[in-house]
Amino acid sequence: MIPVLWLCGPPGAGKTAVGWEVYSSLLASGTPAAYVDIDQLGICYPEPADDPGRHRMKARNLAAVVANHRAGGAGCVVVSGVVDTVAGPAVDELPHAAVTVCRLRADGGELAARLLGRDGPAADVADSLREAADLDAGGVGGVCVDTTGRTVPEVAALVRERTGGWPGPVRPGRGPVELPTVDAPLPVVWLCGPTGVGTSTVGFQVYLRMLASGRIAAYVDLGQLGFGGPGPAAHRVKAANAAALVRTFRAAGAQAVVMVGPVDDATTVRLYAGALRDAAMAVYRLHAGRDELARRILRRGEGRGSWPQPGDPLRGRPAAELLGVVDRAARHAEALDRAGTGHRVDTDGLAPDEVTDLIVRRLRWLS
């Protein structure tokens, strides 16, 4: 069975940062590992009445994602995210994994300071502190690590120490990665484009428009489904993970899915279309010129992106390095344009909500 380390805890405890640190240190040591933010596996609303918090939905998706990463070469998987404050992680949904649960906590004052530092409203802070108290009272997780006053690397080292040197010796997984398919027609709107063009920001707004229309809708970020190191199997793992999520969302009643993520070339599109061959997929390619891409990529480098992406490769990078990213993004945009990938949507000079309006107008069934 594949070792899985599941980090849980209240908002502000450091789950994502510590999970990414553990994952990165494993890769640096030569251990084939994967990372999953489980909160990314359950973005489907309104949630089913029999699964408040969508914890079962997330765990079922996690089981498929772990299996796909294993087939893609991972020898262990680090998972982080919110869990049921009473029942804890739904580990029974992962029968083929050896799951170690570790709960992170912090004193109330430090949690509040961290959350307020994220510019969160006071009401959210109060809810998070109540969640933290419930987790402490219930003793969720076989191992607990207090993050109060500790740096992320210090906490990551403590987590591995207190979990017996997790994961221990591992054996790399091996393929092939199977591509499950969606078993019923379902509209899937895929937004793609070069680095920095804004697919995640616009895609999430399109998703919110679907919810506002009264539909049950889901959101999938392909970039969050492939943290398993580089390699030829990367897109195949992402495609398999996307198909598994869409199938789970469809079973939960989803009427449409918004998917965002990069496209390398026409072959990439065919791979995902094959995995989602029973879905009615519409591909929209966001396009921006070099100057606009530079502005957006430099903003992300300064930490002013639309959301704190786990492991964002642009955040905090030197300007010279970011300008190299801009050059590659501009060339990628030109290549996609020459190939005629998807329906082009020009974004130069437009705010995200204006780009969203353009796409919604093209989706006649949504507008």
The CATH number of whichever domain residue 350 belongs to comes to 3.40.50.300
- Which amino acid makes up residue 250? R
Structural domain contains residue 177: no
Q: How confident is the model at residue 44 (pLDDT cuts 50, 70, 90)?
A: very high
Domain end point (choices 162, 196, 217): 162
Q: Where are the beta strands (DSSP E) in 308-361?
A: 343-346
Same structural domain, 222 and 322: yes
Q: What is the predicted pLDDT for the residue at 232? A: 54
What local confidence, expressed as pLDDT, does residue 348 receive?
93
In a domain, 181, yes or no: no
Q: Is residue 138 part of a domain?
A: yes
Res 151: pLDDT: 96
Average pLDDT, integer, range 29-43 = 94
With respect to residue 174, please indicate whether it lies within any of the assigned structural domains: no
Q: Which helix (H) or strand (E) holds 124?
A: helix 122-138
- Please check whether residue 256 is in contact with residue 185, taking contact to mean a CB–CB distance below 8 angstroms: no
Q: Which of 23-32, 116-125, 270-279 has the highest mean predicted lDDT (pLDDT)?
A: 23-32
Question: Rounded to two decimals, what is the model's pTM?
Answer: 0.89
Average pLDDT over residues 169-191: 77
Residues 58 and 146 grouped into a single domain: yes
Question: 271-309: per-residue pLDDT in tens?
Answer: 888 888 778 889 999 999 999 998 888 888 777 666 566
The whole-number pLDDT of residue 123 equals 57
Higher pLDDT, 118 or 331: 331
Mean pLDDT value across the chain: 88
The token pair at 49 is: 């009445």
Q: How many domains does the chain have?
A: 2
Residues 93, 235, single domain; the answer is no
Domain boundary (98, 129, 162) is at 162
Domain shared by 112 and 247, yes or no: no
Query: What backbone torsions phi and psi does residue 4 show, to the nearest 5 degrees?
Result: -125, 125
- Give me the pLDDT at residue 121, please: 59
Pairing state between β 44-45 and 217-221:
antiparallel
Same domain, 119 and 200: no
Q: Which of 278-282, 307-311, 318-322, 331-335 has the lowest mean pLDDT?
A: 307-311
Q: How confident is the model over 45-99, as pLDDT tens digits? A: 999 999 999 999 999 999 999 999 998 889 999 999 988 888 888 899 999 999 9
Q: What average pLDDT does the segment 137-157 reach?
A: 92
Overall average pLDDT of the 198-211 stretch: 95
**Residue 367 within a domain:** no
Q: 237-254 pLDDT, tens per residue?
A: 999 999 999 989 998 999
Q: What is the DSSP string of 277-328?
A: TTSEEEEEEEE--HHHHHHHHHHHHTT-SSS--TT-SSTT--HHHHHHHHHH
pLDDT of residue 306: 62
Query: Is the same domain home to 117 and 252?
Result: no
Cβ atoms within 10 Å, residue 225: 28
Which runs of E-coded beta strand occur in 169-277? 187-192, 217-221, 256-260
Domain that holds residue 74: 2-162
Cβ pair 2, 96 in contact under 8 A: yes
* pLDDT number for residue 85: 86
**The residue count for the chain:** 367
Better-predicted residue by pLDDT, 268 or 143: 143
* Number of neighbours of residue 150 by Cβ within 10 angstroms: 17
Instruction: Establish if 169 belongs to a structural domain.
Output: no
Tell me: the pLDDT tens digits for 154-164?
999 999 999 99
Please indicate, yes or no, if residue 178 is contained in any of the structural domains: no
